Amino acid sequence: MAEVVLFHHAQGLTPGVQTFAETLRVAGHTVHVPDVYDGRTFDDLDAGIAYAEQVGFQEVVDRGVRAVADLPPALVVIGFSLGVMAAQTVVQKRPGTVAAVLVGSCVPPEALGGAWPDRVPLQVHGMDADPVFVGEGDLDAARDLVDAVPDGELFLYPGDAHLFMDASLPAYDEDAAALLRERVLTFLSRVA
């Protein structure tokens, strides 16, 4: 079984993020879910992003990196939206990470000051009409990264919801989220 760290999205550590983590735990994985917002959650994405801007995006990423400092090196990292920045930073700067799942976002590795490490498999998930994932360049970054990673996979789901994976938010898409969970569990069984 895998040792997993799941970084929450810009609306904070919502019940939907906790539900996703619990699904992985039920499958036998150890899942850590650091709260880089110190207990704050937000009713909409704009308010959550405004909080991250107030704190500083780099500080949010640094909180995520600090949260894994005492965890075993052989981690699988999962990032939802804003949490992808911390997830990718951990993969790129912390030796021993075994795999990554990026949902709703992808950053060119060089933007985080490094390269994707050799032999670290990757999944990227997003909706094909999500104005954030598609419209802000994340899909292009995901395609480039997946092409460069031998065990890279890109999964696109029909729809325009950004946080489709979070069962506690209005953007939740039950069908897409179920397929995401199935694909992540299959991936974890391969990399664990």
Q: Hunting for tokens 């489709």 — which residue is that?
A: 164
| Closest to 82 in 3D by CA, of 14, 25, 19 | 14
The strand ranges marked E within the chain are: 3-7, 30-32, 75-80, 99-103, 122-127, 152-157
Q: How many other CB atoms sit within 10 Å of the CB of residue 107?
A: 20
Q: Considering the domain delimited by 3-191, tell me its CATH architecture.
A: 3-Layer(aba) Sandwich (3.40)
Confidence of residue 154 (pLDDT cuts 50, 70, 90): very high
The residue written with tokens 């976002």 in the block is 105
pLDDT at 126 exceeding the cut of 90? yes
pLDDT tens digits, 29-71: 999 999 999 999 999 999 999 999 999 999 999 999 999 999 9
Q: Which is nearest to 87 in space by CA: 95, 96, 77?
A: 77
Phi, then psi, of 38 in degrees rounded to 5: 55, 45
Q: Average pLDDT in the 2-28 region?
A: 98
Within a 10 A sphere around the Cβ of 1, how many other Cβ atoms?
A: 12
Q: Are strands 75-80 and 122-127 parallel, antiparallel or unpaired?
A: unpaired
Q: pTM for this one?
A: 0.97
Give the pLDDT score at 114. Answer: 84
Average pLDDT over residues 152-165: 98
Indicate if the pLDDT at residue 174 is higher than 90.
Answer: yes
- What pLDDT sits at residue 192? 83
Distance CA 160, CA 9 (A): 17
Give me the helix-helix angle, 83-93 and 57-67, nearest 10°.
60
CB atoms within 10 A of CB 123: 25
| 127 phi and psi angles, rounded to 5 deg | -90, 140
pLDDT digits (tens, 9 = 90+) for 79-121: 999 999 999 999 999 999 999 999 999 999 999 888 999 889 9
Measured CA distances, 7 to 86, 117, 135, 148, 158 (Å):
7, 20, 22, 24, 24
Domain range annotation of the chain? 3-191
First to last CA, the chain: 5
